[in-house]
Structure 1
Amino acid sequence: MDESLLNLLDMSQREYELYRSLLTLGPASIRDIASHAGINRGTTYETLKQMQAKGVVSYLPKGKRRFFAAEEPERLLQKAEERRLMLNGLIGKLKSDIIPELYHLKPEFSAGNVRFYEGDDGIEFVLKDILNTVSRQADKSYAVFSSKAIRHHLYRPFPNFTKQRVQRQIQVRVIAIGEGGEDAQYSERKWIPTQGEVDASYIAIYPPKVAMISLAAANYPVAVVMDSEEIAMAQQIIFNTLWRLL
């Protein structure tokens, strides 16, 4: 079974192999279970006790010996449902109480509101942050200043960015500095003509954040993300004013 599924079920790979052996054997002794699973008896016994505590294994005494048996496979689905209900409750608690309380601990603005990222992994994180932040808002839109020189490098670590943006029905308005740029759904574009070379730059305005991406030496991408409602709104006003004039 996939490891991620096992984690959700709170089972290890060893526990899953023992569970499969128990289903095959039916009620069986520790010796027979260990032999069938290819695991030593001491480890088998300790693991079976853990599985019993999790409710996927039970035992019945036969004389002086214990015979272990697997609960029905339906029990795994029940465990998944229990985990889902628990997570739903936790998510609700996070939204209603914990997250608002933690935000109250933050100052209005601090050095922690400015984050630096670099390399392809860093840029991918910033691009995903744009999609995730905007998708949670009622107005699913953001604005971008983008120069021609950066476009070839920007989506290199995240080639499906535009596809995911369209799937989430996120609208973007782009003021392109220099010619070019691709057409896509849920996007509008206007241009500022330029003469000669323009430095690589990309500014995304997605209140309460502003992300600024540029290229360092050898086309190495770097980014700064500011989490500030005031700065984001000021940038939004500048963008909207220029958008109307173009």
Structure 2
Amino acid sequence: MKLEILEQLGLSAREVSIYLALLKMGTASIRDIAAESGINRGTTYETLKDLAGKGIVSYFPKGKRRVFCAEPPERLLELAEEKRQSLEQGIEEMKHTLIPQLNHLKPDFNPGNVRFYEGDSGIEFVLKDILNTIEQQDGKQYSVFSSKPIRQHLYRPFPNYTQQRIRKQINVRVIAIGEGGEDAELSQRKWIDAKGKIDASYIAIYPPKVAMISLASTNYPVAVVIDSTEIASTQQIVFDTLWSTL
């Protein structure tokens, strides 16, 4: 049996052991449960109290002693459902209340508003940040400047990026510098016919952030993410103005 999932419900390994022992025994005293589980009586008693508080174990008097019995395994599923509902409610409250309140505590700008990432793992983090940030917004759209030399390297660490974007119903507008680039669902693309050598660069505008990705020597990717509403807004104006002229 894969019992690790029970620990995800908040049950300790000791609680799982005692619950399983009691489930096998039907009803039993603390002494018998301790003997079956191999856990000392004092710890068994405290653990049984915790399990009773979670509604997984019940007890009743028998003479001068208490005997315990395990609730049916379906109670574990009910516990999981309760935790799931509580977690979903907590996530919604974080999205709409707690996170905005915490963001108000941040200063308008500090050195932490500029972050540097490098290598494939760093670029993957930035790409995931784009999706996660836009997914929480009403418009679900971001804008991109992308040059031809970077395209073959950009999604190397995250090959299913476009599929993830489409699944999340996120739109993107791309101004491609140089030829090429593939059309995809929920994507609009326009081109700038640049002449001469084109450097590898990718700029994503996803307010309140702007990500700038380029290639160092030996095609090593590096990125800078600026978390600034003012900078993102200015970059968005530049993008929108250029978009309207193409």
Q: Which interval holds the TM-score relative to the shorter structure?
A: 0.7 to 0.9
1:6 correspondence with 2:4: no
Letter in 1 for 2:24: T
Indicate the larger mover: 230-239 or 64-73: 64-73
Structure 1 residue 230 displacement after superposition: 1.7
* Contact kept in structure 1, 2:6 and 2:16, CA below 8 Å: no
Give the corresponding residue for 2:233: 233
| TM-score normalized with structure 2 length | 0.84
Deviations 1:118-159 (A, max 9, x none): 222222221111112212222121111112222222112211
Deviations, residues 170-197 of structure 1 (Å, cap 9, x unaligned): 1111112222222211112222234454
Distance in structure 1 (CA, Å) of the matches to 2:63 and 2:36: 22
Q: Cα distance 1:100–1:135, how it changes in 2: closer, same or farther (>3 A)?
A: closer
Deviations 1:182-234 (A, max 9, x none): 22111122222344542221100112211111122332222111122221121
Question: Which residue of structure 1 aligns with residue 135 of structure 2?
Answer: 135
Dislocated runs of 4+, deviation >6 Å: none
In structure 2, distance between residues paired with 1:120 and 1:64: 67
Q: Cα RMSD over matched residues?
A: 2.7
Structure 2 unaligned spans of 5+: none
What is the aligned-residue identity percentage? 65
Unpaired stretches in structure 1, ≥5 consecutive residues: none
Give the counterpart letter for 1:6 in structure 2. E
Q: TM-score, normalised by structure 1?
A: 0.84
The one-letter code of the counterpart of 2:226 is M
Letter in 1 for 2:178: G
Distance, in Å, in 1 between the alignment partners of 2:162 and 2:155 is: 9
Partner of 1:205: 205
Write the deviation string for residues 75-108 of structure 1: whole angstroms up to 9, x where unpaired.
2233234334433554454355433332222222
Question: How far off its partner does 1:160 sit?
Answer: 1.3
Change over 3 Å in CA distance of 1:63–1:119 after alignment to 2 = farther
Alignment-mate amino acid for residue 234 of structure 2? A
Instruction: Count residues in correspondence.
Output: 244
Name the structure 2 match of 1:24. Answer: 24
